[in-house]
Amino acid sequence: MKFNAYIVELKYRENSFTSSLIANDTIVSANFRKIGKDLFIANFKTQVEFKFLEKVTLKNRNKEILVLLPVLSKYNKRKLTKISRFLGNGTPGKREKTTIILNLLTVEKFLKARELLSFLAISQEELVDFLIQKELRQEIKIIDFTHLSIIAYENTQNYLKELNSILTDCYTARTKSIKLSEIESKLKLPHSSLFFKYLLQCSRHNFAFKISKNKIVFEKLALLEGEIDSLEEIEATLKKKKLSIFTIEDILKESNLLYEEINNLLWFLIEKGEVVQLSEKYYIFNDDLNKILNKLKKYKRNQGEVIDIQSFRELTLLTRRYIIILFEYFDAQHITQRVDNQRKILLTV
């Protein structure tokens, strides 16, 4: 692949000069600008192709340059300082092909590593294997395999942290939606990019939302102070009534809340993992469910792996209606397996 500029090593006193050199049997002219000790940027009028660590003679100057890197983007003073540092002025180990790629991620937020295949003279298969190993070690994140676009793992975590902060602010402020363009502006990432979509997908672990018409719409919002009080009252009432398995109608009888309010509170408890939905209508507290599961394990250990409704009633003191609801849930979750009118316990004891 050809580039318009390269970073080269050259021992020369002048900070800037123009010289000619031979590239692929063609004489080309380049403007040289010093960026560090024995390091110059060579700018060419047309694109030329060099290889990593290729030596090229400057015409009529009795000097030789060593090609170190193509210039991939605009480098400010801070970036040039980093580049000068990691090139190491010949320090052993700092000019390995794969090391160069990782070091470039200290300068570039994103790197299209495929652009360097020809320059580094390595195969795509070799580079892919190397990048996958680095991703498994959580050193980088491969954004896409088409261009072999990569980002440093630390930068990925920083982007995720910033996105979660943006979404948290919206969630706690009970903002129903936020435009993708607004997130794009704050993250300084195009919302059409694959990496942006990857970040959104990761954030779904912390937030329930859907993407509609170029905006994020939260499916559930943070509870208000009054709703938190109602939530505590519901939990206390149900446990006092010993309603370990309950419906929205049960809560309606014991509170002054509306159906929609109760539904929102239940979904909040489900998302927190405090309540489990057994069926379309019935719910159970997670603590109570775990107690029943532990009793099933004990039953299997002491009395065998098959249990019937009567034995389960004696075990849990639940009515037949609730037992049927639980058995159907257990079957669906592969906790039990129906055998005629009995259940085979699949739990590991």
- Given a contact cutoff of 8 angstroms between Cβ atoms, the answer to whether 164 and 203 are in contact is yes
Question: How far is it, in rounded angstroms, from Cα 41 to Cα 9?
Answer: 9
The model scores a pTM over 0.75 = no
Strand partners, 8: 40, 67
Q: pLDDT tens digits, residue range 182-198?
A: 999 999 888 888 888 88
**Higher-confidence position of 63 and 88:** 63
The rounded distance, in Å, linking the Cα atoms of 329 and 274 is: 17
pLDDT tens string 201-260: 888 877 777 888 788 887 665 555 555 566 677 777 777 777 788 888 888 887 777 787
HSE on the CB side for 289, CA within 13 Å?
A: 20
pLDDT at 174: 65
Do 278 and 267 contact (CB within 8 A), yes or no? no
**CB 255: neighbour CB atoms within 10 A?**
16
How many Cβ atoms are within 10 Å of 24's Cβ, its own excluded? 9
Tell me if 42 sits within 8 A of 98, measured CB to CB: no
8 A C-beta contact, residue 349 and residue 297: yes
Give the model's pLDDT for residue 264. 73
Res. 336 pLDDT band, cuts 50 70 90: very high
Q: What is the DSSP string of 92-130?
A: TTTT-HHHHHHHHTTT-SEEEGGGGHHHHT--HHHHHHH
**Stretch among 16-20, 58-62, 186-190, 223-227 having the lowest mean pLDDT:** 223-227
Per-residue pLDDT, 90: 55
What is the model's pLDDT at position 202? Answer: 87
3-state SS, one letter per residue, for 303-318: HCCEECHHHHHHHHCC
Q: For all residues of the chain together, what is the average pLDDT?
A: 86
- Among 109, 81, 104, which residue's Cα sits nearest to residue 94? 104
What does the pLDDT read at residue 153? 92
Residue 344, CB half-sphere, CA atoms under 13 Å: how many? 6
- Of 117-121, 217-221, 280-284, 296-300, the range with the lowest mean pLDDT is 217-221
How crowded is residue 260: how many other Cβ atoms within 10 Å of its Cβ?
9
pLDDT at 214: 86
CA distance 121 to 316: 70
Q: Which residues on adjacent β-strands are paired with residue 232?
A: none
pLDDT in tens, 298-332: 999 999 999 999 999 999 999 999 999 999 999 99
- Per DSSP, 228 falls in state H
Dihedral sign for Cα atoms in the order 315, 318, 319, 322: negative
pLDDT at 273: 81
pLDDT in tens, 125-172: 999 999 999 999 999 999 888 889 999 999 999 999 999 999 888 877
Using alpha carbons, select from 219, 221, 223 the residue that is nearest to residue 234: 223
Q: What is the pLDDT of residue 109?
A: 87
The C-alpha torsion from 226 through 229 and 230 to 235, rounded to 10°, is: 160
Q: What is the pLDDT of residue 203?
A: 86
Give pLDDT, residue 244. 80
